[in-house]
Amino acid sequence: MPGIWVMRIGHRPQRDKRVTTHVALTARAMGASGIFVDTADPVLEENVRSVVERFGGDYSIRTGIGWRDALNGFDGAVVHLTMYGQRLEEGLSKVPFDRDLMIVVGAEKVPFEVYEQADLNISVGNQPHSEIAALAVFLDRLTAGKNLYSERDGKMSVVPNERGKTVVERTS
């Protein structure tokens, strides 16, 4: 599949710093190529880049990118994750796998223009829940779980085990 990008709309640095960080890290862990955030936030950028530096992978973050510019300039399919869209199973069957994909997630009420501009409005359930959960479920289903334990060639990696914590640090 070509690149998968996330557009975070409505980020409020003082209120949403942890949630938006988790959106970015979830996108990275589940196979996205990068994230755009509509509000400039150099601390968020620094935190996410630090994780990429330590744990590896090819992932980028850019903040201060207006959602209109991002959507209008995107040459691929736009998927808006919303409680009000079509069911996940129906929407996934319509996602084009031969084009880049931009997944839009909101922090606050998303402008109706996003619903109109999106190629697909997909719901991950019909109950209020976190955009982090919606993004994780969508990306996991989209990629058939292939990124859950993929190696990213970072300075550090976590080795899953039944008990305890195993972190391997590479010295080279």
Among residues 123, 82, 119, 83, the alpha carbon closest in space to that of 100 is found at 119
Domains of the chain: 4-145 (3.40.1280.10)
The structure's pTM equals 0.92
Largest CA distance in the chain: 50
Q: Is the CB of residue 38 less than 8 Å from the CB of residue 11?
A: yes
Q: What is the pLDDT of residues 81-123, one digit of tens each?
A: 998 899 999 999 999 999 999 999 998 889 999 999 999 999 9
pLDDT tens for 126-170 read 888 899 999 999 999 999 999 888 888 888 888 888 998 988 888
Helix residue spans in the chain (DSSP H): 13-29, 42-55, 67-72, 88-92, 112-117, 131-142
